[in-house]
A and B are shown apart, each in its own frame.
Chain A
Amino acid sequence: MDEELLELQRQFEFAQQAKSSIRLSERNVVELVQKLQHLQIIDFDLLHTVSGKEYITPEQLRLEIEAEIRRLGRVSLIDLADTTGVDLYHVEKQAQYIVCNDSSLMLINGEIIMNSYWDTVAEDVNERLQECSQIALAEIAAQFQVGSELIVTVLEPRLGTLVKGRLEGGQLYTPAYVARVNAMVRGAARGITVPMNLSALWGLLQSLLQEMEGASGVAVGGSFFQSLFNGLVKDVQILGSLRAGVHWTPNVFATAQKECVDSFFSQNSFISYEALHKLGIQQPIQFLQSRFHEGIPLATTFVHPSMIEMLDAAAEDAIERGSWTDSLSVLPASFLPEDASKILSLCPSVQKALKSNNALLLGDSYVFSNGFVKDLFDRLEKEMETLPLSVLDLHPAKAVKFGNESSGDLAESTETGSESGFSKQVLEKGSKKKKGKSLGNTKTVAAESLPDNQESVSTKSKKNQRKGKATSSSQISDSKSDSRKDVEKMKEDDLTEFSKERLIQKILTLVPDFEDQGAYNPETVLEPLANHLRPMLLSSWKERRKVALTGNAQKMKQLLDTLQRKLDESSLNMQLYEKALNLFEDDQSASVLLHRHLLRTQATSMVDILLHHLDMHNKMKLGIEVADFQNVEAVSLSSGERIAIAKSFPGPLSVKAVAVVEALEGKVSACWLETRSLLLKQIMPKKIGEVGPLFCSLSIFREAFVLHGSKYLFLFLHMFSGLILKKLDKKLDRTLLHSYRKDLTSQVSAETDPVSLLPKVVSLLYIQVYGRALQAPGRAISVAVSRLKDKLDDSAYKILMDYQGATVTLLGLMSAATGDEEDCTSDRILSKKELLETLMPALKGLVLRTS
């Protein structure tokens, strides 16, 4: 056993005896802490780290956080949670506490940032700014990873101290840069002499800057320029006025403008707004009014009162002279009619004259003295009087048109026009009805005549079907439409008589002055004048027409009465003669001959009377003076005249009248009957209304007439006249016969011509023998004489026969005679005449004796 081993043994023993150091496990510690907390020995919050191995008091955590902040200047909470090893929740809580208690700290977007950090940032920014002379805020914000708003709020208080620069529209600039740009702006602004939109200017400057700095140059915002510009304006470095923030008007321009306006206005004492517009003045009236208080604004120009004085003098002169003037000719050429009218209304003399009705303003610019217009009107009216009234017949529609043109107040004039038209119609109609017969009033009957026409067409077509002819129907309808057209046309023509053009022409011929005005179109003055005169002329014409109408009304009544009377007369005569024809019914040829004769003599005169009266009536209705309508006893018209008159009738009446005439001449006999009936029906609607059913029988007669020719014309006439005219009763018959006989007797006794004596004697004999009035043509005399054979005694008959034979031979010789030759025929004629003359007393005695 050596010492060393023992020593070691001892040492080992000692080592084993040594007290071992006491160590607590983590678990024990946790349990202990919990126990302590449970016993409330630890009475504060105790935090533990994320690893769970450490406890930390909030104060300690706060201290650690503060230390971290002071170290770094800017710490994110997440980083703090990592470095302290404490849950983020507690870190946030403590961080908020710290930030609340320390004004130099701020908590932004989960980061705690010290003020001093911002100072360093500002220094950084300043350094960079001095290098680059401009930095965008967005760039800085991106660099420091903060919001640009935050950067702005941080940088703004440090501008001028830490950051030597200027913040403008999201950009930082160095003063040098600002000064340079400012100089640019000033230069540009001073260079401008006309109004300009500043944003356009900024665009130019921007591109200029970019050129200077190359591609690296940051775009400078327009607002930067604008603020610089505003500063310059405020410092009165540039002169001018700014409108709406962008419209820059340099003082130079404004002065130039004003000078220009001033000089023009003072030289010409007027200036047009257009000129101001050209000078760039947007609201010329306000501009001028503020500058020239005494000036007067017109529609397109601005004038000095002296202009009014000048015009006033001209107008006054024209008014006093009883003449007219065109204010445009006095005013400068640039004046428009609106200006003229306005300036005229301002002239004191014109105002006065208008007030006292001494002057008339027409067509904006024309001043007419009342005397001139009156004179013109009188002359025109005189001219108008020469016009026949008939052509001035106006359709109500046309009147409306007139109204429109003259006044322009459409609704009112239409109303009045149509009203007056209607009332007139009604009046006429009423008066006609009162009289019991109304001669064709085309206006009123226009509507009525339509169904009539239809009726006629239908009856006719019925007839035509039976006849197997389909011509006349279409003819009628054609003629009808034609006539309508004619009427329209006629009215158009009437209108032209009063149309503006005509009026203007007339004025031109009356007042040749207008022509002399030469330089401009005379229409411009004449048209308003014509427009002004036209309604006056129309009304005066209407008045005249009305007077004429009322005057004619009485005459028309008389006319109608005469017509009725005459028709009665002749129809009675006709009936009388017709009776005599009954004697010849057994002799066909003689009967036809006689009938034709009757038709030619009596019916012709009837139709003539009818047509004549209708013509006069028509004229009267149109207001034409018909001097002596009473002296129409002896009318005899040629067929050409008849047609002319018939055609002169208005509208459907004309067609019918023409048909009547044609029928009379045996052309379209059927038509004649029909149209005559219609004609009568139209002019005497009242009577027709009463005998309406009888027209059925009329149509039957019509057919009979067509079948048997002219023989039935008489029959029909008899029937027809009997219906509408006076009926031939016995008493009347006798008186008529008596008067006829008396008449004849006196004629016979006075008769010296042997040839014409014979028919009269024969007629007288018929009256004596048969009590009937016979009208026979020469050719029928022999038949008539032979018929008397039975009734007369032989001697008388012999005388008659002898006379008749002698007459026949005489006539035969006369017709055979060549006239101027000296041969035996003339001798023989003479001898025969002598013979007849010797026989005449016997013949006369024959008749006169018996009577």
Chain B
Amino acid sequence: MEGWDPNTKSALTKIPLLLTKAGPRDGASWTQRLKEEYKALIAYTSMNKSKDNDWFRISAANPEGTRWTGKCWYVHNLLKYEFDLQFDIPVTYPATAPELELPQLDGKTHKLHLNMVLLSNLYSYYSILEFKEINSVFLLSFSGSPRFGIAHALCLGLAPWLAAEIPILVDSGMIKHKDDVASASES
């Protein structure tokens, strides 16, 4: 786990690990698993709140809890850039990581395009961003460790990605702040 930046690392350790190893098709086990997922998310969210580092809202889109939707955001140059977030729990979960999707950014970058399926392709993506080793470790540990859940995926996957990718995208003009978009449309 060495190589992670200290914030990520400390955050990760504070997220409780999941005990039940079950996928959506495992019935009662999955419910148990879902409960643990919720606990982990609560812990992570409250932790973020206490650190004034709240950056996402998600909720289960179906009762089974296999589809999740919400929003995530990043503040760059005092401007908040907000994106939709959605993902499905794959049936082979937790052996297979869920694919986190940011539909607004789809097509904005080849990297993003490639990596809409974040966790599965994390290796190649972070290699480019020189997170190669970090993410390979993460990927391995995550994929090899069913004790990581959704909270872990968000913490380890999406948060670093946003921090790394959004400033580049903003500077290159690929994404614009919503106020600018609004003013541009008005004019």
Contact = CB atoms under 8 A, between A and B. Distances in A.
B186 interface: no
A4 B35 contact: yes
Given A2-B31, A20-B48, A23-B51, A9 B57 contact: no
Given A1-B63, A2-B31, A5-B31, A11 B38 contact: yes
B105 to A, nearest CB: 22
Interface in B45-67: 45-46, 48-54, 57-60, 63
B interface: dominant SS:
helix
Given A8-B42, A11-B42, A16 B35 contact: no
B156 interface: no
A22 B42 contact: no
B109 to A, nearest CB: 28
A15 B45 contact: yes
Q: Which of A8, A12, A21 has the most CB of B within 10 A?
A: A12
A408 to B, nearest CB: 119
A18 B48 CA distance: 11
Contacts of A5: 31, 34-35, 38
A23 B42 CA distance: 20
Contacts of A15: 41-42, 45-46, 49
B38 A18 contact: no
Contacts of A21: 49-52
A11 B48 CA distance: 15
Q: Which of B38, B39, B42, B54 has the most CB of A within 10 A?
A: B38
Interface in B85-137: none
Contacts of A19: 49
B46 A8 contact: no
Nearest to B34: A5
Contact of A23 (B34, B52, B57): B52
Interface in A609-639: none
A102 interface: no
A776 B29 CA distance: 209
Contacts of B39: 8
A8 B38 contact: yes
A13 interface: yes
A382 B42 CA distance: 165
A154 B82 CA distance: 73
B63 A8 contact: no
Contacts of B52: 20-23
Given A5-B35, A8-B39, A16 B50 contact: no
Interface string A1-38: 11011001101110110111111000000000000000
Contacts of B59: 9, 12-13, 16
Given A13-B59, A20-B53, A21-B51, 16 more contacts: A4-B35, A5-B38, A8-B35, A8-B38, A9-B60, A12-B45, A15-B41, A15-B49, A16-B45, A16-B58, A16-B59, A18-B49, A20-B49, A21-B50, A21-B52, A22-B52
15 contacts: A5-B31, A5-B35, A8-B38, A8-B42, A12-B42, A12-B45, A12-B59, A15-B41, A15-B42, A15-B46, A16-B45, A20-B48, A20-B50, A23-B51, A23-B52
The 3 closest A-B pairs by CB, nearest first: A23-B52, A8-B38, A20-B49
Interface of B: 31, 34-35, 38-39, 41-42, 45-46, 48-54, 57-60, 63
